[in-house]
Structure 1
Amino acid sequence: MTHWIGDVFTSDVGWNHLETLVDIGDRMAGSDGERRAAEATRDVLTDVGARNVQLEEFDIQGWTRGSATIGAGDSTRETIALPRSPAGEVTGELVDLGYGLPSDFEETDIEGKVVMVASNVPDHYDRFIHRREKYYYAVDRGAAAFVFRNHVEGCLPPTGSVGTPESPIGEIPAIGVSKEVGSRLSRRREGETVEVAVEAETHDATSQNVHADLGPDTDEAVLLTSHVDAHDIAEGAMDNGAGTAVVVEVANALADRETELDTRVHLVVYGAEEVGLVGSAHDAAERDHDSITAIVNNDGVVRGRTLSAHTHGFDRLDDLVTEVADDFDHPVTTIPEQGPHSDHWPYVQWGVPGYHLMSETGDEGRGWGHTFADTLDKLEVRNLREQSILLTELCVRLADDEFAVEHKEPETIAAALEAEDQAAGMKIIGDWPYDE
């Protein structure tokens, strides 16, 4: 029976929820807006027929943005603080380290200096370098402040958190500047003394995960996930209202196909992803990993038509999503490498089979994400519907008794990270969970 495909392709439930989320406004982790977004997600999952729908609260380090500036004298520029930057005012010589590759930090004396790096990596480099990795290279080398320069044109300063689970507030002031401001600073101020000033408040706060179930009441479960929080500077449509909208749309479709599910599908919409995967880390610490068939994490979907799937070396997951794509004659790109930068990772790092679902945009890096331009008008309802169809079928096949994928030993994941040259960066960030 294929009538469900037409139902999904004419459904508005996911898109309507996406509009609800972006219209809330500020969904920063720990904010009232994040809570209202979680409550709205709880309510819509109840409406589509999920059961055991509830919010689970947990404590987080709260952080509230104030003003931020960089410059000298009458050329001071307004910019934005990176979440969890400490407040403070520092001065130092401005050093532009370009892409901020590990070798750039090794080859340059940055002690006591204000370090600026780009938000992307060059095409010839063999892996992605996360913002936090660049930040902690700067910290490790004694920099006075960190400046994160966008590589995307449009006068868009980028945001994105710093800090670690053990020390949620970063060690040196951190700001984001647009490509244009960064270019001007490099041309006019490199080698000169500049001042970086950040105003921010820290406080105790609470976030929450949304939980719900579909299918039979089995101990084992397929986890279908997203995160509902977003940075406070934009609507968070792409990151990650769209991911939560897909979870809602897939849940709506699965509710009509529950008799086809041999295994429970457990929905988790996390809070506090943008400040260090706090919600998923909380859940992963509480959950029996052996009970998880696989995790299907949606973070970055809908931005483009072609889905991409990090499969983390799980060949059976790679084969399955490729089979679904072939059966529906729809493009999907698979990426077998480890992807330690979203809510699947607190599970996958311990050997749980997992997907990180995104979509290709043709842009380098995040594109509009983590900027003021992350708005609803960049998305198309067609992409949401088509990807929801694929992911509904993927979940049904994952929940079939005939499907099996073996968990890996944590040592195998650690070895893969070492082989992919990701381990050193994770260690300096404080994200390496394995015994040496």
Structure 2
Amino acid sequence: MTRDAAAERAAFDELGRRLRNDRELWTDFEALCRHGGRMAGTASERAAQEWCERQLAAFGPVSREPTAYAGWRCDHASLTSLPDGRQLEAVPLLGTAFTPEAGVDLPVLDLGRGTPDMIAAAGEAVRGHAVMVRHEYPFSTQTVHRRVKLGAAHRAGAAAFLVVQPEAGVGPVSGSSGRAGGPGIPAMGISAEAAQALQKAGARVRLTIRGEDLPQARTDTLVLDLPGGQAERAEERVVLSAHIDGHPLAESALDNATGAAAAIALARAFAPRMHAMRRGLTVCLFSAEEWALNGSREWLAAMPEPRRAAMALNVNLDSLAGSPRLTALTSGFERLGEFARAGAGLAGNDVGIHLPLMANSDHANFAACGIPAMRLIAGFDEPGSALRLLLTPADTRALVDEGQLRNAAVVAAGVLWQALRADSLAELRDRAAEAA
């Protein structure tokens, strides 16, 4: 090892030790959980944003950049078994269509997994029914996303949509409908026990969802910009991102208090070292991610092109615990996997690599702008991991192992160190043909 390489290694090792011993990483995580589910548009979200702003302001000026999104408010939601009047465990999907004031009475059609092919095969039997399908582990190469199933049911003439959390004793599953104020059908997440009650022949339900679409909704993107110390790369930025918002069912601990707390810890670790970096670091904490990635999409679309063009890489932190195994979702950028592995190696770890684009967090919106982007996630292709409990009342801090969170933060630090110190990141823009 050359003297320069040894010095570089020693400098990163010192940063890694600081992160591993950073007591505030865990206390920040717990503080975010204490704010509750942090659903966009609620007092819980606003309080969490104010708290995050205060934390980031310790490292430099923080901008609150107003960001539009297709908002929605639910005033009442219920699912009733007919004719016995039993109230079933259910929550409306975010942004879902509303029912008439008195609700709507519908027969239930159970389509099992409920893939688009299965919905199409049911033919006219779908029309006018509340179609019931199963929620799938969201982080897998085999997953069929709830919005894909919902869209297929809507097109087939279903009158409502029920998605089942398959594990007993957990409660209902939440998630976004992706409707964004447009056409749609009422959609709810329900518990395994509710589904069991509706599996009998001739089952009927009354759905009631009342509220209001809020097309002019606004949230804030929190932005901390830390310039690098070398003039030749003064305009370039590596963007470190995470989302603050979640769902009202629990604490949104895995998804995504883990990522937001790690992003703050990384800002704390890198801020005093930015004079030695070749390019700057921009830390973005988004909201309205749970609304079909609406917040970061609108934020990127609204900014001047030169600011977007200066973004050399996005490292997105979302759901960093629940399994000791980490994966980099590299959005079709062919050389980004090798880059991520080298960064993890610098931290004494390894990561799995998934090359095809997965539009399941804010990195997807950076990739859509041609910016190399990766999501660091725990539990990919591990359906038995704690991440199976995302979007449910079980997503509390009890699911999070402190050691896993610290390890993920250090892996992310290795990737950031490489990105901030590299002579050039231009080669990371190469994309697989199917992703271009």
Shorter-chain TM-score: which interval? 0.7 to 0.9
Secondary structure of 2:132's partner?
strand
Give the 3 Å change call, closer, same or farther, for CA 205–331 of structure 1 in structure 2: same
Match of 1:114 among 130, 134, 142: 130
Moved more, 358-367 or 309-318: 358-367
Secondary structure of 1:68's partner?
strand
Secondary structure of 2:61's partner?
strand
Does residue 146 of structure 1 match 2:166? no
Conserved in 1, the CA contact under 8 Å of 2:239 and 2:283?
Answer: yes
Secondary structure of 1:135's partner?
helix
Give the Cα–Cα distance (whole angstroms) in 1 for the partners of residues 285 and 43 of structure 2.
Answer: 16
The offset of 1:147, in angstroms, is: 0.2
Secondary structure of 2:223's partner?
strand
Q: Give the equivalent residue in structure 2 for 1:373.
A: 394
Give the 3 Å change call, closer, same or farther, for CA 98–267 of structure 1 in structure 2: same
Q: Give the equivalent residue in structure 2 for 1:302.
A: 321
Match of 1:355 among 366, 374, 393: 374
Q: Give the equivalent residue in structure 1 for 2:19.
A: 8
Secondary structure of 2:389's partner?
coil
Give the 3 Å change call, closer, same or farther, for CA 391–135 of structure 1 in structure 2: same
Give the 3 Å change call, closer, same or farther, for CA 150–313 of structure 1 in structure 2: same
Q: Give the equivalent residue in structure 2 for 1:103.
A: 117
Conserved in 2, the CA contact under 8 Å of 1:155 and 1:180?
Answer: no
Give the Cα–Cα distance (whole angstroms) in 2 for the partners of residues 33 and 305 of structure 1.
Answer: 29
Match of 2:142 among 90, 102, 127: 127
Give the 3 Å change call, closer, same or farther, for CA 277–413 of structure 1 in structure 2: farther
Conserved in 1, the CA contact under 8 Å of 2:174 and 2:392?
Answer: yes
Q: Give the equivalent residue in structure 1 for 2:415.
A: 394
Give the 3 Å change call, closer, same or farther, for CA 122–26 of structure 1 in structure 2: closer
Give the 3 Å change call, closer, same or farther, for CA 305–155 of structure 1 in structure 2: closer
Conserved in 2, the CA contact under 8 Å of 1:316 and 1:405?
Answer: no
Match of 2:297 among 274, 281, 284: 281
The offset of 1:121, in angstroms, is: 7.0
Q: Give the equivalent residue in structure 2 for 1:209.
A: 221
Conserved in 2, the CA contact under 8 Å of 1:65 and 1:83?
Answer: no
Q: For 1:42-121, what aligned pairs fall within 5 Å after superposition?
A: 42-47=53-58, 49=59, 51-60=60-69, 61-78=71-88, 79-88=90-99, 89-109=103-123, 110-120=126-136
Q: For 1:415-426, what aligned pairs fall within 5 Å after superposition?
A: 415-416=434-435
Give the Cα–Cα distance (whole angstroms) in 2 for the partners of residues 327 and 24 of structure 1.
Answer: 34
The offset of 1:160, in angstroms, is: 0.7
The offset of 1:15, in angstroms, is: 1.6
Conserved in 2, the CA contact under 8 Å of 1:159 and 1:231?
Answer: yes
Give the Cα–Cα distance (whole angstroms) in 1 for the partners of residues 75 and 170 of structure 2.
Answer: 20
Q: Give the equivalent residue in structure 2 for 1:136.
A: 151
Secondary structure of 2:84's partner?
helix
Q: Give the equivalent residue in structure 2 for 1:312.
A: 331
Q: Give percent identity, aligned residues only.
A: 26
The offset of 1:330, in angstroms, is: 1.9
Q: Give the equivalent residue in structure 2 for 1:425.
A: none
Give the Cα–Cα distance (whole angstroms) in 1 for the partners of residues 345 and 67 of structure 2.
Answer: 41
Summarize deviations over 1:348-380 as a string: whole Å, max 9, x none.
Answer: 123211101110173358411101111011112
Give the Cα–Cα distance (whole angstroms) in 2 for the partners of residues 59 and 5 of structure 1.
Answer: 37
Secondary structure of 2:345's partner?
helix
The offset of 1:414, in angstroms, is: 8.6
Q: For 1:13-32, what aligned pairs fall within 5 Å after superposition?
A: 13-32=24-43
Secondary structure of 1:397's partner?
helix
Match of 1:293 among 308, 312, 319: 312
Aligned-residue CA RMSD (Å): 2.4
Give the Cα–Cα distance (whole angstroms) in 2 for the partners of residues 205 and 281 of structure 1.
Answer: 14
What code does the residue aligned with 2:364 have?
W
Q: What are the ranges of 5 or more consecutive residues in structure 2 without an aligned counterpart? A: 1-9
The offset of 1:197, in angstroms, is: 2.2
What code does the residue aligned with 1:99 have?
R
Summarize deviations over 1:172-215 as a string: whole Å, max 9, x none.
Answer: 111111123213312x24x4433222233444543111000124
Match of 2:363 among 319, 333, 344: 344
Q: For 1:178-327, what aligned pairs fall within 5 Å after superposition?
A: 178-186=191-199, 188-189=200-201, 191-203=202-214, 205-216=217-228, 218-287=234-303, 288=305, 289-327=308-346
Give the Cα–Cα distance (whole angstroms) in 2 for the partners of residues 348 and 20 of structure 1.
Answer: 31
Give the Cα–Cα distance (whole angstroms) in 2 for the partners of residues 414 and 146 of structure 1.
Answer: 36
Q: Aligned residue pairs: how many?
A: 408
Moved more, 113-122 or 221-230: 113-122
Q: Give the equivalent residue in structure 2 for 1:173.
A: 186
Q: Give the equivalent residue in structure 1 for 2:7.
A: none
Give the Cα–Cα distance (whole angstroms) in 1 for the partners of residues 375 and 37 of structure 2.
Answer: 25
Give the Cα–Cα distance (whole angstroms) in 1 for the partners of residues 365 and 80 of structure 2.
Answer: 36
Give the Cα–Cα distance (whole angstroms) in 1 for the partners of residues 178 and 203 of structure 2.
Answer: 28
Summarize deviations over 1:17-65 as a string: whole Å, max 9, x none.
Answer: 2122111224111112212211111111122x2x231211234323235
Conserved in 1, the CA contact under 8 Å of 2:68 and 2:298?
Answer: no
Summarize deviations over 1:291-340 as a string: whole Å, max 9, x none.
Answer: 11111111111222221110122222100111223343323111111111
